[in-house]
Amino acid sequence: MDERCKRHLAEQRYWGWLVVYREVPVFDTRAYRTVTLHILADENIPAVEHFFTADTHVQRLGGRAIGRAQLQHIDILLVRSVTRVDATLLSGTGVKFVGTATSGLDHIDQEYLSQRGIRFAYAPGSNANSVVEYVLAAVASIGDTLEKLLAGGVVGIVGYGHVGKAVAARCDALGIGYRVFDPWLQQNMISQTATLEQVLDCDVVTLHPELTADEPWPSHHLLGSAELERLRPDSVLINVSRGPVIDNTALLTQLNSGRRFSTVLDVWEGEPAINAALLERVTLGSAHIAGYSLDGKLLATRMLSDAVKEWQHHHSPALDSPAGFAPALLLPEGLSRAGQIRYLLQSRYDISIDDALLRQAILGEQVVGKRAAQFDQLRKSYRGRRELAGSVVAHSLPASADIETLRALGCIAVSSSDSE
């Protein structure tokens, strides 16, 4: 590999982010500091020990097992979405900083934290590209849906936060039309704004709102029987937000009645005790892992570490990511544009694996009471999935339009003749 290719490997490009990792000397200040911060972190947050290096003591616990008793001597609490952080959890504790390694905030009582003077940080957009690639992988796996979108089909996006915007940006880059419904934002902040009915009439409908019960637009059961009836028979419905955004009972009724739209669920009502009958009916299912790429999770940890350093007025050089660079990919010749996209997506992430693992764990478990533990175990032991964005792709494409397709996916395109 020549120097040009090596220079490409000096950066990793996330969708909407450019994160540059540099090797820098790290000055160990621990000998000069006397206060040790005690951190309790969800066991599914990676590399806490790597990024929180100075004057910290890290304990690990499952997110659903974190309770007030475990927080009595904790300064910093780091959670994911399964831990509800409110007065019930924190009252009477000495927690001074709460961080969530997620973009969503529906599990955090921010008003209570503010009243108590507890510093708060989250990781907006850290998993956005991971979720975008999950959505694209689902689309590419279901029949000729990808071909339809590239030929003029339309994606309906519900929710225009960090992830919804990233989905829209990827559609723009690939030349795919889209409509957006988000009554929770000012409409002048949204491009291609549409009504819910117009979005539900699209070829693909993908859900990205935060979960709220607030009127006039509660997202809880935003899609019930009436809304599901509006979906076209050949459409694809994808939920990667929160399970209760769809009325799961109504969805099962629709699927049992013979409705032919395809359904992809990464999130479920009642997690981790999900409805096994619904799992049997959906086209693809997974265990709330759409945002679980290794790259996204490490970025979230790094963002929380930076927030703690700012809170402590502790300025230290940035540490390298412990993941390193993902292996380069070689794009075969002779593929159509849809074929190129499908090949590259599946080279990094095969969604059918997660579908098979969930079905084996839930449908293969005869003891109903053990299914919830199986669901959580899939998340705890999730493999180190790497993102396509930022990947070096060697190719022999003669057309600039084909190279632009690689760039639209966030890839770093390198001629295969240059990488030999």
Amino acid at 262: S
The one catalytic residue among 80, 170, 242, 379: 242
Active site residue 271: yes
Could you state, in order of their start, the residue ranges of all structural domains in the chain? 13-123+293-312, 128-285
The one catalytic residue among 271, 302, 342, 379: 271
Mention the CATH class of domain 13-123+293-312. alpha beta
Query: What span, in angstroms and rounded, lies between the C-alpha atoms of 401 and 413?
Result: 12
For 281-292, give the DSSP string.
HSSEE-SS-TT-
Query: What span, in angstroms and rounded, lies between the C-alpha atoms of 112 and 86?
Result: 7
- Beta strands at 17-19 and 12-14: parallel, antiparallel or unpaired: antiparallel
Candidates 3.30.470.20, 3.40.50.970, 3.40.50.1970, 3.40.50.720; CATH matching 128-285: 3.40.50.720
Write the pLDDT tens digit of every residue in 76-90.
999 999 999 999 999
Q: Comparing 31 with 134, which gets the higher pLDDT?
A: 134
Answer whether residue 142 shows pLDDT above 90: yes
The one catalytic residue among 8, 288, 386, 395: 288
If you ran DSSP here, which 8-state letter would residue 273 be given? S
Q: How confident is the model at residue 317 (pLDDT cuts 50, 70, 90)?
A: low
**Picking from 111-120, 179-188, 319-328, which range would have the lowest pLDDT averaged per residue?**
319-328
pTM exceeds cut of 0.75:
yes
**Picking from 152-166, 206-220, 388-402, which range would have the lowest pLDDT averaged per residue?**
388-402
Query: What span, in angstroms and rounded, lies between the C-alpha atoms of 217 and 122?
Result: 24
The structure tokens listed for 83 are 């831990």
Q: How confident is the model at residue 318 (pLDDT cuts 50, 70, 90)?
A: low
Name residue 395's beta-bridge partners: 415
Residue with tokens 């040009």: 4
Answer whether residue 15 shows pLDDT above 90: no
Answer whether residue 31 shows pLDDT above 60: no
Provide, rounded to the nearest whole percent, the portion of the chain with pLDDT above 70.
88
Answer whether residue 209 shows pLDDT above 50: yes
Answer whether residue 26 shows pLDDT above 60: no
Per-residue pLDDT averaged across 295-322, rounded? Answer: 83
**Picking from 51-55, 83-87, 195-199, 312-316, which range would have the lowest pLDDT averaged per residue?**
312-316
pLDDT at 367 (0 to 100): 85
Q: How confident is the model at residue 72 (pLDDT cuts 50, 70, 90)?
A: very high
Write the pLDDT tens digit of every residue in 187-196.
777 777 899 9
- Look at the chain and count its residues: 420
If you ran DSSP here, which 8-state letter would residue 189 be given? G
Across the chain, mean pLDDT equals: 89
Q: How confident is the model at residue 316 (pLDDT cuts 50, 70, 90)?
A: low
Q: Comparing 155 with 417, which gets the higher pLDDT?
A: 155
Q: How confident is the model at residue 320 (pLDDT cuts 50, 70, 90)?
A: low
Active site residue 220: no
Answer whether residue 28 shows pLDDT above 50: no
For 203-222, give the DSSP string.
SEEEE-PPP---SS---TTS
Q: What is the distance of C-alpha 139 from the center of its chain?
A: 16
Query: What span, in angstroms and rounded, lies between the C-alpha atoms of 358 and 364?
Result: 9
Q: How confident is the model at residue 25 (pLDDT cuts 50, 70, 90)?
A: very low
Query: What span, in angstroms and rounded, lies between the C-alpha atoms of 170 and 192?
Result: 14
Per-residue pLDDT averaged across 240-260, rounded? Answer: 96
DSSP run (H or E) holding 78: strand 76-79
Taken in order 387, 178, 212, 237, the sign of the CA dihedral is negative
pLDDT at 73 (0 to 100): 93
Per-residue pLDDT averaged across 135-160, rounded? Answer: 98
Q: How confident is the model at residue 54 (pLDDT cuts 50, 70, 90)?
A: confident
**Picking from 18-27, 152-161, 279-288, which range would have the lowest pLDDT averaged per residue?**
18-27
Listed in order, strand segments (DSSP E) in 104-207 are 119-122, 154-158, 177-181, 204-207
